[in-house]
Structure 1
Amino acid sequence: MIENYPSQNSSSNGSHNSVPPFPQNQPVRWAEEQEDEWSFQEFISILRRRSLLITSVTITMMTLVVINLVVNEKPPEYEGSFQLLVEPVNDVSDDPKVLDVVKDLNSQKSSLDYESQIQVLKSPELMKTTLKQLQASYPEIDYYSLVESLKINRLQETKIIEVRYQSSNPKQTQVVLERIAENYLDYSQLRRQTKLRQGLQFVEKQLPFIQNRVDQIQKELQLFRQRYNFNDPESQVAQIASQTVEFSRQKQVIDLQLAQVRANFAILQGKNGATTILNNAPLYQQLISQIRLFDLQIATESTRLQEENPSIQTLKEKRASLLPLLRQESERLLSVEFAQVATQFQNLEAQSQELAKIEQKFAQRRKQLPILIRQYTELQRKLQIATESLNRFLSTHENLQIEISQSDVGWQLLQRPTTPDIPIDSFSTQRNFILGLVASILAAIGITLLVEKLDNTYHTVDELKKKLKQPLLGNIPFEKQIDTKKNRASNQKSPLANIQNSSCQATARLGVLLDKEYGDSSTHFSEALRVLYTNIQLLSSDRPMRSIVISSAMSGDGKSTVALHLAQIATAMGQRVLLVDADLRKPTIHTLSGLNNLWGLSNLITTNLPVGEVMRQLPSMNQLSVITSGPIPPDPTKLLSSQKMKQLMADLHNSFDLVIYDVPPLLGLADASLIVPHTDGLLIVVRIEKTNSSMLKAALDNLKISRLNILGIVGNGHKSRSNSYYY
């Protein structure tokens, strides 16, 4: 029996000794959405939250950039240039001085490969003369330093090449550009034309071989067509298909006639076959009629004359003379009919054999047709390739002739080498500083996004609601006073006697703190707890919530703090509340509430101790009762799964308006799964910026298997930037 605590309501008198019908085996509607992309608002929120990291990385990288600019500062560089017109242009007016240096898109494409030409202009062979002239005045110049400082580019789609050179000496820049310009103009007049003529000679030398190759393949194709009577693969396939169908039809007709002849021959060999043939023979039937006439006459005469009478004997002799004729006529008719059938059979058999030979030839031709088509296609492909190659060589031959005729004009110097006055890198330091700043900011943002990606915690309540498909019942803000008091209490390691002596003082301090926190309606912390309590009560419309379990995925998420303050809020709202510390592994309720832990839940389960002996009331709130965990047992799971624990929970459920159980973390422990089925549901506390999402997901997967009733989640430790009451 329960003693020394308020009795149960009148509505629960009939169920005092039985476990109440709590919701069981409700499916866990909990999942985490896999969203790898951030919206613009989330991106801005991440930048605000990680502003300190972004600032630190930016400052660090900018320090390195400044040091690098100072260490690697180079002397000023001077750059000069000149321009060359490397191809003739067409006149666009009557004035010969007006030149269209921009390439006309509708005209013939340029015959000059500019990329290759630029590489030739930088080649050691072409630079040999220029280097000899320059090294007389500037011996430090070699080929590699010259090419490294030399830039040759084509001006967009024009026929103009621009040459640039830079060095720390402006006079040296001017001299180098003048020598290079002279060398390029000489090259355009002499060596370029020579190379064009060498190319023309090569093309003229290769043309006869390519022409012979085309002629040879054409002859092979002609012989192939004559040998196999092969003109076109599609026509050959259609012709063979039509001939095959025609011969198949003729073969079917011959086979039908053969079947008829065989049937006639079988009829002739039968008993009725000869009779049928003789019945249709006129002479044979005439002889039969005469014999029958003689038989009639003999029978008539025998009625009136004796058998030896000469008339009867004469009739018999005449009849007997007709029998050999009848037999000869029968044999003749049958032999003629058999001969006709045999001749017809032989003719049809010969035709069938001939058609079979023709079909065999066509079958072989059908098998050979893919090979012939492949050979024909290969010959056509070779002919096409050879023809295209011949056309390319002919076109190249013509283009080379045209280019040789045009190259006599030579290249033209449109812009003489300029003398540089201002260093090109006068603004490079400022530009590099700006680029370094931009790169530092981008790198800081990139590192921030990487850190955010690797972070497995929930940073905001919006993120918690977005990724977890479960009602968010409360959002408990971060309260420095509560957090400081909790840490100070958790660090106290006083002996048991000191705990008993300081119990009343701690209880008084807690009452003052509650008056301070819950007396002011504008306190965010107290308002958040009131909202949490109201949301819990609104979850069930038909009956109030009488018992709940509060837990978390991992330790340190603040489940015990939430349980204690939720019990205080419910008590302040006029409810008879019992707070049970069911964490028999690392209990903290007695530390947070300033109570001793000599006797508690473990004593109620293992002994026959009355409930009133272990139940404590806070002096500041006489309606709030607390049952601490008691001594830590060696096997907490065994105690929580006992029948006595179930009966105790049923009695407590019927005796209080609200019973709150504080249980160990969910991950890796079965304590919560043993208690939740006998309550109205489970409330999970998630610590903002601390709870590991993967551990939370693992804990929820375990709950999904147990099919426990989850009431919702509570966000704890949210650091709000808003001071508004409506927040």
Structure 2
Amino acid sequence: MNGQNSTIASTDFSNEDQDFSLNEYIGRYLRYWYLFPIFLFLSLTLAFFYLQITQPIYKTKTSILIKDENKGLSGAQGDILSELSTQFGGNKLVENELEIIKSQTLMEQVIKELDLDVSYTAKDGLRTVSLYKRSPVNIKAEVVTPFALEEPLVIHMEDSTHFRFNDEDKIFTFNQRFNNAWGAFVVTKGVGSDYEDVSVKFTDAKNLAENMLNRLSVEQPNIKSTVLELNYEDSDIQRSKDVLNKLLDVYVQSSLADKNSEASNTLKFIENRLGLITGELGDVEKDVESYKTNQGITDISAESQLFLENIKENDSKLNEVNTKISILESVDNYIQNAGEGAVAPATYMIDDPVLVSLLTKFNELELQRERYARTTSPNNPLLQTINTQLAGTRQSIRENVQNLKRGMAVTKRNLEGINTRFSAGLRSIPKKEREFVGIKRQQSIKEELYLYLLQKREETALAYASTVTDSRLIDAPIATFKPIKPQKLFIWSGAMAAGLIIPFLLINLLYMLNNTVQRREEIEKITHSSILGEIGEMKTVVKGQPGEESIIKMTSRGAVAEQFRALRTNLQYLGDGSCRILMLTSSIGGEGKSFVSINLAASLAYSDKRVLLIGLDLRKPTLHERLMVPNKFGASNCLIGQGHYEDFIQSTGVHPKFDVLTSGPIPPNPSELLSNGKLPILLGQLRTQYDYILIDSPPYGLVTDSALIAEHVDATLYIVRFNYTLLDHLKRIGDLQRARRFANLSVIFNGVNYGAGYGYGYGYGGYGYGGYGYGYYSEESDNKSQNVGSKLKKLLKRN
């Protein structure tokens, strides 16, 4: 039967209730409620100062239309304009234009034209404000030193015409040139302003361009349209508008320059050819004039006219072939020398559609290469891809030109053969007429070529003059009425959330890191022992003396005194109700064992019981110091047989029925002294004279003395201190309970802090006794309210 009970008990001890308790979970936060208003106040204060210091950021947006040459033109006029506009401009990709607008080169040009690399700010309360176009001073920087890029230059306005630098005492006037650590610059007078201290910041253009590009966004709202939307964020509305306007202006000028590049090269080529043809035509005309004058020729016979027409037609074809061969040679020369200042050939003078397509593609790639070379590094993968495409296109053009030249050579030989046959027919024509026909033929050829080049020059010039931008502004830059940053509602909401979340996390962290006993439920779950009573935390009653060192006035109506009365009442429920020799022990020192034993003994004495408190902590006695009695003789003398116990028992002065037997001199062998057999005899003799005998024993977790004493007592009161006893020590109590090593083992929960949320109104005693709320008694009401600072200090100290 006993074995079965032991098995059941062992099973009960091994199964601990781990159910979640909502009351306990909420209680941990109610206990430290004061952390929430503290952190809420701090977070809201930080949010207030953050909003005061941070400059508001506004968003300015504009939109442009990238024109599509394939849309929007119709009719004859549209065909003419389309031909002129597309003759020297390729189709544009919106994605490419988007990247061009966001290029570093364009932004650096914007910075240069707006002088944004020199900024002016001033202090307005806690906030720093921008003085863009509102600064009382302007600086025209000639040389900027590296020091100037690190440290701002502060200008103090003395009056409308005088100022001084930084903390210097020397006063200067405007329109002077200065050379100092910041560089060489001229200070001129700005607009009227109420700000007297102006901070001038010099910024590297490249770094500033990167920063500005980070605040610029270019998006395509609708994938089916060619509209781009530009958004720019800045603390100064006027500056953001100027940046967008100037950026679009720079983009348009860059686009026009790219479009005019090919037309300009073509015009140069035609002008060069016209110069050569004009000279040749003049020489031929002079030859005709001289021949007619010298030979006196005025008319040509019908036969000669017939031969002349045939030869002229054949020579026209031969001239066309020679011209095409010349053009092919110029194309071949251009392809070989492309990128070295060579003049681009005119593609409209070539009949072969494949070659025209290849030349158009080559010119487009060349323009793209020049554009990307201005905005990207030489190692850019996109630039390398274009170079590769250029090389492949160049090779294809050269192969096509060679094929065409071979074909033209065959045609030329055929035409020359025909000319030979016609020349044979002309032998019958008089020599003079034949010579005149030859000269006239050369004149006709040069005239046709001259007229052809004049026509193409006019067409090219018209196309060059009609070049317009491929983009159009839709909306002028418009800034938001309210700042987008910082968002006040978001900041305030975030501050309030942080003020609640931080203490929430802090409390959870403290509970996770805290491995001490916090609640009586932890004691019950781990030890499976009954809690005989709870003793509240003692406040300091004597200056310089901790509360746990005090002896309570048992006539008091204070909370702790009532708790000891409840504990005294609960002693009758120990065992079978006849337990009179009680041992008080704990796991380690400092858990309040002596404090509880003294005050429990005093409470029993005030209930008209004769009580003896024996100090059997023979290693580190403290009872005599607390009760302020001598310790020259005591229990150690009795245990070694030096005198009778009646000679060593002393009155405490706390109550007439409260006596004490101190530990006496510290022996060299406490454990052997307690096990020599005289302790049970001593307790047997004392039992007849006292109603209760309380033994203050050493901590069980440190030495074995308590185990030796426990064999001779009726019950053991194990002291567990709130926020001090480790949770691992509770397992030792559970082992003792399970092994039944201590008779009638019960726990006293000492030093409990009945702060908000603890236990949700637990009473003072165990076994259902007590139930009075903490702070019910008037004499402790002054100690109930503590300022928040002291609570926080105590919280940090405990954890």
Question: What TM-score does the superposition give when structure 2 sets the normalisation length?
Answer: 0.45
Q: Considering fraction of residues, name the structure with more strand.
A: 2
Q: Considering fraction of residues, name the structure with more helix.
A: 1
Kindly indicate whether structure 1 or structure 2 has the higher relative contact order, using CA contacts under 8 Å at least 6 residues apart: 1
Greater Rg over alpha carbons, structure: 1
Question: What TM-score does the superposition give when structure 1 sets the normalisation length?
Answer: 0.49
